[in-house]
Structure 1
């Protein structure tokens, strides 16, 4: 199991695809793992060197006591540095998408293009994230895992694909409470709304038409602000790559192949 050891924590990562191909870096959402990308892995790794990693405190990556959005983006850059990758295509969902936006603003030299799915420049209310962090530190993740499907998937999908829903709940339940809480606090402080016009990388924004967490309207607003942005709307809720896997895959590949 490949592990990158950093000063305060370690990162678990996986590399798939042909050596020498352009790198596509994938960043998971809050409460999931690098396994969330399995529906797209076969197609993406045919022509790209796919680099997946568990966000700190998730999956097999260890947690740090605290972190900011800049630290989460720093983890992505540390992986690229450790693997001698100067620039990469980037795709992230939710918190992973916000990580990508930070890179687009502050580290444009590391990006070939940017794909931001089911995300926003400011996700949710700061106080709500702080309250969730305190709750998780006090009570653990069992209650959140039990209700995660209501935030992540449409009601119809929960009936149609119970195995996928249960797998997603299991990822959340197995997440480090301290690591999850630290990421919540990073999200509480993260606000890139004023910085979006600075993103120069070609950008694809993917939104779920049924997403109650980061809405299609928020994606449309970002598309109007980021200079080289285009928008793809999918028939899905918040974890759109799991609920609409083929449509997600097609949108990503069409964008990448046009670069």
Structure 2
């Protein structure tokens, strides 16, 4: 796989599909402790007809590097890759933390984003007092237990246990420093008061059973967007792998509408 050196990290990425296709490239950004393979179904579908780019964020998957402290720094990595690939404008698709990165890029560089897709993502993490206390305490347990607890609850009831265990194992392979630092970065992320500045057509797709980032938090954000379409799917937080076909169809309809 090709890699790009950026500020001490080697970012692994895929760049597939026809370069002469109509429409700007689709750029997929995964979430916390995941990797670019969350988008396997979408890559296989869209790369048949247009350019598709996805990457492993630093410290995730096959990318090296750590030391990143904020969502904005991850956004800089994505922008560095787009610059390297001479992508001036794109459809930006982000899942969970990847959606936070996508919003950050869109707010800072709206000229580079033709459309925005947020999958199970929000503009501000909001906790009740009880859930906030639970989240704080969870960081004190052993690392693998912390990861397992967070990943297991990301899936809707009834999702195959063997597959969940495989995702837990993969997530636990993410370096502890990266996992814990970005957990804090997500909790600190807050652009809710600025999302009204985002003027590009936006699609928000969310799992009805998402307890990581509840639907009501996404809907609170959607109200502030001037041009947002909302789609709720019968899934949990891991929509790209829980309902890949339905998500792909939803994305395809959105990106196929003339700008």
TM-score, normalised via structure 1 length:
0.90
Pairwise CA distance, 1:87: 0.8
Equivalent of residue 102 in structure 2, options 100, 103, 111: 100
How big is the alpha-carbon RMSD for the aligned residues of Structure 1 and Structure 2?
2.2
The number of residue pairs the alignment matches comes to 253
* Higher helix content, 1 or 2: 1
Alignment of 1:227-238 (within 5 A): 227-238=226-237
Name segments (4+ residues, structure 1) moved above 4 Å. Answer: 124-136
Pairwise CA distance, 1:163: 4.2
Pairwise CA distance, 1:231: 0.2
Q: Is the 2:126–2:217 contact (alpha carbons within 8 Å) kept by the matching residues of 1?
A: no
Structure 2 Cα separation of the partners of residues 64 and 129 of structure 1:
27
Counterpart in the other structure of 1:201: 200
Counterpart in the other structure of 2:31: 29
Structure 1 Cα separation of the partners of residues 73 and 133 of structure 2:
21
Q: Deviations over 1:126-150 (max 9, x none)?
A: 97799489648xx43x213433443
Structure 2 Cα separation of the partners of residues 7 and 63 of structure 1:
9
Residues 176, 124 of structure 1: CA spacing in aligned structure 2 closer, same or farther, 3 A cutoff?
farther
Structure 2 Cα separation of the partners of residues 147 and 80 of structure 1:
34
Counterpart in the other structure of 2:184: 185
Q: Deviations over 1:114-173 (max 9, x none)?
A: 00010110135597799489648xx43x2134334432111212xxx3343233212201
Structure 1 Cα separation of the partners of residues 126 and 256 of structure 2:
33
Structure 1 Cα separation of the partners of residues 132 and 67 of structure 2:
19
Name the SS for the 1:156 alignment partner.
coil
Q: Does 1:166 align with 2:168?
A: no
Structure 1 Cα separation of the partners of residues 38 and 107 of structure 2:
26
TM-score, normalised via structure 2 length:
0.90
Q: Is the 2:147–2:171 contact (alpha carbons within 8 Å) kept by the matching residues of 1?
A: yes
Residue segments in structure 2 that go unaligned for 5+ positions in a row: none
Structure 1 Cα separation of the partners of residues 139 and 10 of structure 2:
24
Q: Is the 1:129–1:184 contact (alpha carbons within 8 Å) kept by the matching residues of 2?
A: no
Counterpart in the other structure of 1:63: 65
Q: Deviations over 1:6-55 (max 9, x none)?
A: 12322111112112333111011101111111122211212221111111
Q: Does 1:216 align with 2:210?
A: no
